Amino acid sequence: MGYRKTQEEVERIQKFMGPARFTGQELGISFKTSWEFARDVLPPIFEPVGSKSDGTCDAYALAANYQSAYCGRFDGGIVMLFCKYGDIEGYYQLTEIMSAGLAVSSGREMLGEIKKEGTARLWKDGDQYNGSVEARGLTLFEIDAQITGPEQAPKTVKSNGFDVKMFPHTNGHGLQYPPLLNIWDITNNFSSYREGTGTLTWGHSKWDPVDTIPIVSTGTAVATEYENYSPLLRQEQLEDPDNVFPQYLWGRSFDDPTFYPIANRWRGVDSLNIDPDRQDLANR
């Protein structure tokens, strides 16, 4: 109880927290982005999935409501690329927005996810579905879909996901410890699965730059309800002799701190990254 848990309480929490289990009501849409973009933003351990000859990589965006076994009720939105690690095909998230505190903190600190706080909303009117994802009061993306296909559930789909668990070093330079690759063994049991057509529209945010993701084409839109079970398949320590992994951490998992306002006494002391929304860097 209180500030110090008993050993029995800790054991209950540990059993409660894993593996990841939740239900979802989701509106998603597949799309293709450019191979060049995917190769640039994916860590070198991953290979894009798609058609290199056509210059495209498979991708997916979603907005959803969730109820979990371990971190409450929340909503969220994700943009992901499909890629391979060795012979395992899975997804790698570029943006992951979630609404609830524990969903964000446990996802980041325990699972190695890139979650930031924000909101997602879903609306349905007959066959018309709409989803919107926001963070910092800015719309990141919207999905509009006509879901007219027949019910395909019940069905079960197996897949894999990748998260690189890494944190900045306490002194601000490099990582606290070598990055860890978490590979998830995902099972979705669908109670509803219907397909249709739709559009994906990016908003603009310097904090989560989804509008830098090229949309070559959009594919199938899907409205689903499901139960998700995602135990850890395995965890691997990654080598990073050239210290490249921080390039995939700042801005994606942690906001770029050089975009924040700076107290007057420290203005001009440090070099700042170019703020895409402002030209008056010297006045910050």
pLDDT, tens digit, 9 for 90 and up, residues 37-73: 999 999 999 999 999 999 999 999 999 999 999 899 9
d(CA 262, CA 257): 10
Residue 16 has pLDDT above 70, yes or no: yes
pLDDT tens for residues 196-208? 999 999 999 999 9
And the tokens for 167? Answer: 């944190």
Token pair 């019910």 is found at 151
Residue 119's pLDDT is 97
Percent of the chain predicted with pLDDT > 70: 98
170 confidence band (pLDDT: 50, 70, 90): very high
And the tokens for 50? Answer: 């798609």
The set of residues, in sequence order, having a beta carbon less than 8 Å from that of 16 and lying 6+ positions away, is: 69, 70
Rounded mean pLDDT of the chain? 96
CATH of region 7-253, choose from 3.40.50.1980, 3.40.50.720, 2.40.400.10, 1.10.3720.10: 2.40.400.10
The set of residues, in sequence order, having a beta carbon less than 8 Å from that of 254 and lying 6+ positions away, is: 168
The CA-to-CA distance between both ends of the chain, in Å, stands at 46
Residue 279's pLDDT is 61
210 confidence band (pLDDT: 50, 70, 90): very high
The mean per-residue pLDDT over the stretch 170-185 comes to 97
pTM score: 0.94
What is the SS3 assignment for 60?
Answer: strand
280 confidence band (pLDDT: 50, 70, 90): low
d(CA 234, CA 228): 18
Sign of CA dihedral 117, 200, 66, 164: negative
d(CA 207, CA 138): 10
Residue 100's pLDDT is 83
Which segments of the chain belong to CATH 2.40.400.10? 7-253
Beta strand extents in the chain (DSSP E only): 20-34, 47-48, 50-51, 56-68, 73-85, 88-98, 116-117, 119-125, 128-135, 138-146, 155-165, 180-202, 217-230, 232-237
